[in-house]
Structure 1
Amino acid sequence: MKQTILLSVLFLSFLAKIQAQDPRFAQFYAAPIHVNPAMAGVSSGSARMALNYRDLYYSLLGNKPFRTISASYDQRFRAVNRDYFALSGSVMRDQAGLADFHLTQVNVGGSYLKQVNGGRYASNEQYIVAGAQIGFAQQSLNWSDLTFSAQYDASGYFFDPNAPTNEAFDGKSSNPYLDFNAGVLWYAVWDDNKSLYIGGAMHHINTPSASFTGDDKVRVFRRYSANAGGELPLTKQLSLMPAFLVMSQGPMLSVTTGANIRYTNREWKELALRTGLWTHVNNRANRGVGLDAVIVAAIFELEKWNLGFSYDITSSGLSASNYSRGAFEMSLTYIRPDKSKARLICPKF
């Protein structure tokens, strides 16, 4: 009974946030197109493919956890002088909880990379990037897996699945809706292991309607975000890669911050290992802002490939129920080398 109540509370709290909070990745630095449209084309290669997978609360929800899968691709092209433009595409599928709530998003976008400093005699390379995305999304929900108070008898103990729910809804999915996102980014690179970047983005600029009941007033909140990071050399082979991502959407606030330490063998076929510690802070209903999870991460770099793993250790009050077992996350990034003579220099993420 306690588990049933807990699962019900988890699901009901998620329903309250359906219009309030987008899916997020702990390894946000490995999902650049999801974070900021202006990050399209900002990579050490001419093209980049990223795959991300996140599995949350498996210890509580079994085979129906909160699960997010995304794929993105972006490619950069030479424009004029040392300016570039890039095209991008991304797909995301988010599943949440016992009622099989699904969110499907498809976006296409572009960015323009404008050089503001650099060249033969410059001590650093600097770019300002502007990007935008247009796409569509749809939400779906398996109503047959939900129970409603009208289906219980007066005592509240006996449940009749065939009884009417007395709830008004038009169907199992919302209407597909158009979505618009935009962002900007500035970055500077001083050396192979010394860089800085900072950016901001706005998602759901048009606040699209996403209602299951046809209520046009139920809209997706705009998501405002700021992200920054860089790389600082410690020794010839070691560097520190701090970063943060702040997201605000409706009543929700999410802050992920931390750092990875990167070790590289500095050879022609470069091998590198990153390990790091991160924290996630969010706001909780009637309890203010608090620490939600501590995240441990490891990323393996092998020439063109980055393979990342991370685990969220729950530190909120939910840890008493899930024994601090939060989310498992995996990322895979492929970067196609840029073979042009005047290669673009970009920070590492």
Structure 2
Amino acid sequence: MLKFFGKLLIFGFVFASFMVSGQDIHYTQMYSTPLYVNPAFTGNHECDFRAGVNYRQQAASFTIPFETYSAWGDTRVQPGFLGRRSWIGLGGNLYYDNAGDGALKKIQGMFLTAFSQGFNSDNSLYGSLGIGFGITNRSVDINKFIFGNQWDGTRLIFDPDNIPSGESFESSSIFYMDFNIGLSVHHLINNKWLYEIGISGSHINQPVESFYGLKDNKVGMKLIVSATAQHLLTKKILLKPEAYFVTQQGVQETIVGGNVVFGLSGVKLIGGLWTRIGRDIMPTVGLEYDTFVMTFSYDVNVSTQRIASEYQGGFEFSLIKRFCYSTRTSTKSEPCKFLEF
């Protein structure tokens, strides 16, 4: 186990040393987008299959807001030749991102798989290695942009209809392959405590992304480090503190906070408070009923832009459905161990 943790740390330092330029989709509810956070989380959940949808709107106070939509799902298989201490996760996700006045869009489809290995007899401690690969399309509406050389100095107006931009766009739509990799460790310590840590790298192939045909304009590799825990405080109260560190192109963000889940008769209520350090305060509310979990959050901007943004940040919504089959009808095993709540 010490060797495994050592390798995990080395993995993180290697990724951190190779960070280059680029920005990416990001979320407040990182816990509601597990396949985005780390491909090693693929297939590691309580049930046979799970699926989720996410929606995020940000910068609503600045002209046209940025919007992100995603849909994802994952399951696991446990072939007989692996034994009961190993299993394979399979999953996929779709992302659609629309940003700003120029309708800069990102559409991505990704397939993910993970191999998990139990370290003890009941799999309460296991590690996972995951990879993801997919195709990304970036497009932009060039006609919606106005450039500096379209300024009419005589009439003192921008005149994009009559003055050419002079920009040499090679294409307004580009495609490229994308690859992710990640590691995680999950440990159910006892019937009251659980923790999970992970580290992942996105865009490890650093694909070229340029509407001008520039070969040196590459998507920067992104590193996400996550640490989550769960503590069953009472039979009806579950604490879920979490922390995420994200870095890409020298831009960093740290998200810390937690949710409290209150178990009531037939339903569970979720309340939480989070912060994107130095930028946002994010209150969260949600509801869990049967195998559905619905969560809402809102980013209150407290950064230096708070006056211009009128303290508005981003609204986010997620819905997750778990599919848990009867043990009498399901052919799948349940190797993953979680708190019973």
The bucket for the TM-score relative to the shorter chain is 0.7 to 0.9
**In structure 2, distance between residues paired with 1:218 and 1:116:** 43
Tell me which residue corresponds to 2:234.
235
**In structure 1, distance between residues paired with 2:27 and 2:166:** 37
Q: Secondary structure at the match of 2:28?
A: coil
Structure 1 residues 208, 338: closer, same or farther in 2, change over 3 A?
A: same
Picking from 40, 60, 63, the partner of 2:62 is: 60
Shift of 1:20: 1.5
CA contact (8 A) 2:147 2:165 kept: yes
**In structure 1, distance between residues paired with 2:337 and 2:210:** 41
Picking from 83, 89, 93, the partner of 2:92 is: 89
**In structure 2, distance between residues paired with 1:302 and 1:129:** 29
Counterpart code for 1:73: G
Structure 1 residues 112, 304: closer, same or farther in 2, change over 3 A?
A: same
Tell me which residue corresponds to 1:3.
none
**In structure 1, distance between residues paired with 2:109 and 2:229:** 29
Q: Which moved more, 1:77-86 or 1:271-280?
A: 77-86
CA contact (8 A) 2:84 2:335 kept: no
Picking from 312, 324, 328, the partner of 1:325 is: 312
Picking from 301, 324, 330, the partner of 2:288 is: 301
Within-5 A mapping of 1:121-200:
125-154=124-153, 157-161=156-160, 162-174=162-174, 176-191=175-190, 193-200=192-199
Shift of 1:232: 1.3
Q: Secondary structure at the match of 1:55?
A: strand
Deviations 1:163-221 (A, max 9, x none): 111111112122x1011101011001134552100000011111000110111100000
Picking from 20, 41, 45, the partner of 2:22 is: 20
Q: Secondary structure at the match of 1:243?
A: strand
Tell me which residue corresponds to 1:280.
276
Q: Which moved more, 1:231-240 or 1:326-335?
A: 231-240
**In structure 1, distance between residues paired with 2:189 and 2:86:** 18
Shift of 1:235: 2.0
Deviations 1:236-286 (A, max 9, x none): 211210011111111211111101111113x6xx521121100013xxxxx
Structure 1 residues 54, 276: closer, same or farther in 2, change over 3 A?
A: same
Shift of 1:95: 0.8
**In structure 2, distance between residues paired with 1:30 and 1:100:** 26
Q: Which moved more, 1:212-221 or 1:184-193?
A: 184-193
Picking from 34, 37, 40, the partner of 1:38 is: 40
Counterpart code for 2:88: F
Long gaps (5+) in structure 1:
1-18, 282-290
Structure 1 residues 71, 134: closer, same or farther in 2, change over 3 A?
A: same
**In structure 2, distance between residues paired with 1:150 and 1:306:** 51
Within-5 A mapping of 1:75-114:
75-79=75-79, 80-114=83-117
Shift of 1:102: 0.5
Within-5 A mapping of 1:182-261:
182-191=181-190, 193-261=192-260
**In structure 1, distance between residues paired with 2:29 and 2:169:** 36
Tell me which residue corresponds to 1:287.
none
Deviations 1:264-314 (A, max 9, x none): 13x6xx521121100013xxxxxxxxx110000112111110000000000
CA contact (8 A) 1:298 1:310 kept: yes
TM-score by length of 2: 0.87
The yes-or-no answer on 1:312 pairing with 2:314 is no
Q: CA RMSD in A?
A: 1.8
Structure 1 residues 203, 156: closer, same or farther in 2, change over 3 A?
A: farther
Structure 1 residues 193, 273: closer, same or farther in 2, change over 3 A?
A: farther
**In structure 1, distance between residues paired with 2:22 and 2:159:** 32
Shift of 1:338: 4.6
Shift of 1:118: 3.5
**In structure 2, distance between residues paired with 1:217 and 1:31:** 31
Long gaps (5+) in structure 2:
1-20
**In structure 2, distance between residues paired with 1:156 and 1:214:** 34
CA contact (8 A) 1:139 1:173 kept: yes
Deviations 1:312-345 (A, max 9, x none): 0000122102211111000000111153475234
Counterpart code for 1:277: L
**In structure 2, distance between residues paired with 1:250 and 1:338:** 44
**In structure 2, distance between residues paired with 1:204 and 1:101:** 19
Deviations 1:20-54 (A, max 9, x none): 21111100100000110000011111111011100
Deviations 1:59-94 (A, max 9, x none): 332xx3100111111011123223211111111011
CA contact (8 A) 1:138 1:210 kept: no
Q: Secondary structure at the match of 1:34?
A: helix
